[in-house]
Amino acid sequence: MLPRFETERIAQEWIGDRVAWNLRALVLDFCIEAEKHDWSPLITCLLRTIQEDLALHGNAIHCVGRAADIRTMDIQPDAVVEVCEAINKRWEYNRGDKRNLLCAVSKEHGTGPHIHLQVNPMTKIIGWDQ
């Protein structure tokens, strides 16, 4: 199952070369998990320019192709929690990083209720390399 895109710009970003490979894998895994709740995820933000990120008080992770926002406004809260939990159980943002950052973060503020999916270059499915 593929994600849906809020705008043509986001659809073009998805097929372009600036989105991190492991963010693509994370988004697709998220879509598989969401399908269990009859939820077809809509991506509302992928890449941002520096100016767009400053206006939203971001931390620049959207500027470098390592984050995607998924709309949750119209989704059952239980489904949002369950899909995020499943993703965070399976995906490790960065082994050894003491901040314990998560790959799927449910956010109520900013541009409306959404899930922020994020990776860094070390992010992977737990146990993939064993």
Q: Is 33 in the site for Zn ion (CB under 5 A)?
A: no
Question: Contact region for Zn ion (CB under 5 A) — 5-13, 14-22, 29-37, 63-71?
Answer: 63-71
* Options 69, 71, 103, 119; binder of Zn ion; rule CB under 5 A: 69
Contact at 8 Å (CB) between 102 and 89? no
Q: How far apart are CA 67 and CA 10, in angstroms?
A: 12
- What does each C-alpha distance from 118 to 5, 25, 45 come to in angstroms? 17, 11, 12
Binding mask 99-128 for Zn ion (x = CB under 5 A): -----------------x------------
For 53, residues 6+ apart whose C-beta sits below 8 A from its C-beta are 59, 60, 62, 63
Work out whether strand 124-125 and strand 91-92 pair parallel, antiparallel, or are unpaired. Answer: antiparallel
Q: Is 48 in the site for Zn ion (CB under 5 A)?
A: no
Select 33 or 70, whichever has its Cβ closest to Zn ion.
70
Helix (H) or strand (E) holding 53, with range, is helix 50-55
Residue nearest to Zn ion (CB): 116
* Options 27, 67, 70, 119; binder of Zn ion; rule CB under 5 A: 67
Q: Is 27 in the site for Zn ion (CB under 5 A)?
A: no
Q: Which residues bind Zn ion (CB under 5 A)?
A: 67, 69, 116
